[in-house]
Amino acid sequence: MARLKDRERALALRKGGKSYSQIRNETGVSKSTLSYWLRDFPLSADRIRELRDWNEQRIEKYRATRRINKENRLLSVYTEQKKILIPLRSRDLFLAGLFLYWGEGSKSRESRLSISNTNPAIIKFFKKWCMQSFSIQPKKFRIHLQLYSDMDINREIEYWSRKIKIPRSQFIRPYIKKSSQNRINHKGGYGHGTCNLVVGDARIWERVMMSIRVIEDL
């Protein structure tokens, strides 16, 4: 009885356009047995061509080829843009940092520059901007992290210290949120918390704010 049910199911799948391999995966019946049961039910030439063109291995190969092509295309664009953009002139760097600060920087404290982000690259660029545009010494930077209760605090401090190349001695005691990072839908964005880089200098703050006002008045 069980064998009869397997045969009936295999026949129904075959009439639905399934290949031997697909039917075998769904029924567990050997390919040789399926060949005997279904010998009078060949697939059409169009269906055979369709199965050949869209089998899992071919699809995966197609996806891999597209991925490699995209990576190569992006690398080519990256190389082209790097030739155009690098090296940055002093004015270029100043304007880039100014627009970054306009969008992301703190503007409420008149005695200091401050920017917060989850991306170490943003913090590193802000640090570079401060040093090259305003001759700020590295020892003047202070780092304040916002972390979560389920994080390894020492490991996260070490992570940020290594990424932005600022010693731990310049890190202020981090603020620890009671909530868990696992409860936040961040797609990895908060994986190491939020880093706030601060440098105190009222005169530089004034220069930055007035430069932003110049841009606003365009």
Q: What is the pLDDT of residues 112-137, one digit of tens each?
A: 999 999 999 999 999 999 999 999 99
Where do the structural domains in the chain lie, given as residue ranges? 2-80, 90-216
The vertex-88 CA angle with 197 and 77, nearest 5°, equals 100
So what's the pLDDT on residue 189?
A: 56
pLDDT at 147 over 80: yes
* Per-residue pLDDT band at 6 (split at 50, 70, 90): confident
So what's the pLDDT on residue 175?
A: 94
Q: Do the Cβ atoms of 172 and 143 come closer than 8 Å?
A: yes
Q: What is the pLDDT of residues 178-190, one digit of tens each?
A: 876 665 544 555 6
Q: Do the Cβ atoms of 43 and 19 come closer than 8 Å?
A: yes
Q: What is the pLDDT of residues 157-179, one digit of tens each?
A: 999 999 999 999 999 999 998 87
For residue 41, report the phi and psi dihedrals to the nearest 5 degrees: -130, 65
| Residue with the larger pLDDT of the pair 50 and 90 | 90
Note the residue count of the chain: 218
For residue 63, report the phi and psi dihedrals to the nearest 5 degrees: -65, -40
So what's the pLDDT on residue 1?
A: 59
Which helix (H) or strand (E) covers residue 143, if one does?
strand 142-148
As a whole number, the mean pLDDT across the chain is: 88
pLDDT at 76 over 60: yes
